[in-house]
Amino acid sequence: MRTVKQAKLLRLHFSEGDHYKGKPLYEAIVNRCRELKIAGATVFRGLEGYGETAEIHRHHLVRRDQPIVVTVVDTAENLARLIPEVEAMMDTGMIATSDVEYIRIEKPPGDPTR
């Protein structure tokens, strides 16, 4: 099955050291996405970076402070529900959205091409 539609891509940039209610912020955000029935979310860890405070985010010996990017692809309406929630959870960071074309690939298991 193949679905093509217009969608939005949301990207959240913050630090691995950010926490929300005792949990890493990225975990809290992914859980919130699930609760809001958002189609999917993926967390990537960068190697090094800097942001608003111009402090270099990198891997320290004890403190993990690498940049984190969470990407979410869903319809504009669903993202509109998610963004205010996420904004409330993030202290510092950046939120960016862009228009994308979305193709969902789903084949029945046991497909001979596999």
The token pair that represents 90 in the structure block: 């993030």
In whole angstroms, the minimum distance from the beta carbon of 34 to another protein comes to: 6
- Find the Cα–Cα–Cα–Cα dihedral 85, 96, 59, 91, rounded to 10°: -40
Place of tokens 């509109």: 80
71 vs 83 by CB, closer to another protein:
71
20 vs 102 by CB, closer to another protein:
102
Using the rule CB under 8 A, is 82 a contact of another protein? no
54 vs 103 by CB, closer to another protein:
103
Using the rule CB under 8 A, is 48 a contact of another protein? no
Characterize 74-88 residue by residue with b for buried, 16 or more Cβ atoms within 10 angstroms of its Cβ, and e for exposed: beeebbeebbeebee
Interatomic CA distance for residues 111 and 57, integer angstroms? 44
- Binding residues for another protein, rule CB under 8 A, total 31
In whole angstroms, the minimum distance from the beta carbon of 42 to another protein comes to: 4
**Residue 10 C-alpha from the chain's centroid:** 7
Residues of this chain that bind another protein (CB under 8 A): 2, 7, 9, 26-27, 30, 33-34, 39-45, 71, 73, 98-107, 109, 111, 113-114
